[in-house]
Structure formats: structure tokens, C-alpha cells
Structure 1
Amino acid sequence: MDYLTNVKILLEIDELDIEKDGLLNLFIFRAIDYTLDYCKINEIPTSLSSAIEEMAVFQYRQRGIENVQSESKGSLSESYFNEYSPSIINRLRSNRRVVIL
């Protein structure tokens, strides 16, 4: 399976529904770019495929609440994450190359 199919499964979007494919692909490409840059690598190893998918899902779910940490409405309060989860960051760190200048 490819990234797009897996991201759709995680988001519970029907595989035949192509309405959001452009946006999902954008988030996938951003996750790949971030990973390549952060890990200082030239290609994505198989071990990071699920991290890429989780990053794309996170970005999709963050739409519209960028830079918002919390929101209150009466007695109801919601908090939002602004960064990738520690499990994603730990997987990226385990694949990070050290660059010696």
C-alpha cells in the first residue's frame, strides 16, 4: 500500500473518495520533506513509513487550529497539540544522521 491509501485508512476516509487526495498528498509530501531534512537523509527508510503517515494525519487534523493551544466555551475547554507526538520524534531521532563539519 502507498502512503495515501494508509493515511485514508487512518482517517477513515473511503479509498474511492478522491475529494481530499490533493490535500492529503500535500501533507504527505510535507512530512517526507520534514523527515528528510530532520534526519539528514536522502531517502525514506521503510522503518519511517508509518511515521510519515502519522505526521500527515496529524497535519490534516490540525487544519484550522494552527497556532491555537487551547479554546474555551463556557465550562468546556479543549487543548490542542502543536507539535508531533514524542513517539514520532523518537522514531525520527533513531534514524537521524550525525553531520560532522
Structure 2
Amino acid sequence: MAYLDEDILSDVSDKIITTSIKILGLEGNTSSHYLLEHYSHSAQDFIFDFCKLNEIPPSLYTVITEMIVFQYKQKGVENVASEGKGSVSESYLTEYPPNIMNRLKSHRKIVIL
């Protein structure tokens, strides 16, 4: 498993994180950069494991951005399926939404044992 190539990593990873920061409206919030970097590595790990890839193709860079944004928006409710307070009940997604999973499935390799 190899993260984005070290030479390319700084450029691409920075662009992915910068795009995520802009989408989330976190410009000027430097502490969020480290969290989004963590989410980026988490997304890459998920892609490697789910798709059985050795490297991440450029066509999945936008998917990484979507995964980072999704993870950030789930911050604070990780591993919570639903929550009720009085007569109000909220449900949360516990896995990546279908639009992300469908794009990952199109890059998935079948492993025959």
C-alpha cells in the first residue's frame, strides 16, 4: 500500500486539503488542517482496502475530497446511528454515502484466492 507518491503527495494532497478547507468554509483555521490531513490518510486507507489498489488514480482525487468533507461533517457523531431527545430523533450515516461508494465500486479490483 502506497499513499500518493511523495513528490506528488505534497502538491496533490495540499490541493485536496485546500479544496476541502474551501468547501467546509474553514479558511484561516490552521488547526483544522491537521484534522483534514488525518481524514485524507483515512480516506486513502479506505480506498486501498476497499478497492484493492496499489496506488490511487487521479480519477479518485475528488472522491478523497468528498470523503474528507463527509468525515468532517460526521465529527462528533462517529459511531452513533441515531439519537433521541424527547420527541426529537436524529439519524446519522454510519458509513460513506452511496454516491461515494458507487464511485469507489467502479475502481474496485476483484481478488481471486
Question: Could you tell me the TM-score, scaled by structure 2's length?
Answer: 0.80
CA RMSD of aligned residues (A): 1.4
Aligned-pair identity in percent equals: 48
In the alignment, which residue of structure 1 is the partner of 2:112?
A: 100
Q: Which structure 1 segments of 5+ residues have no match?
A: none
SS in 2 for 1:51: helix
In the alignment, which residue of structure 2 is the partner of 1:59?
A: 71
1:2-33 per-position Cα deviation (integer Å, ceiling 9, x unaligned): 1111111121111x431211111000110011
Q: How does 1:8-87 map to 2 (within 5 A)?
A: 8-14=21-27, 16-87=28-99
1:37-62 per-position Cα deviation (integer Å, ceiling 9, x unaligned): 11111111111111111111111122
Which consecutive aligned stretches of 4+ in structure 1 deviate over 6 angstroms post-superposition? none
Count of residue pairs brought into register by the alignment: 100
1:38-89 per-position Cα deviation (integer Å, ceiling 9, x unaligned): 1111111111111111111111122221221122223322111101011111
SS in 1 for 2:83: strand
Task: Give, as a single letter, the amino acid of the residue that structure 2 aligns with 1:56.
Answer: I
Q: Which structure 2 segments of 5+ residues have no match?
A: 1-11
Cα distance between partner residues in 1 of 2:111 and 2:79: 31
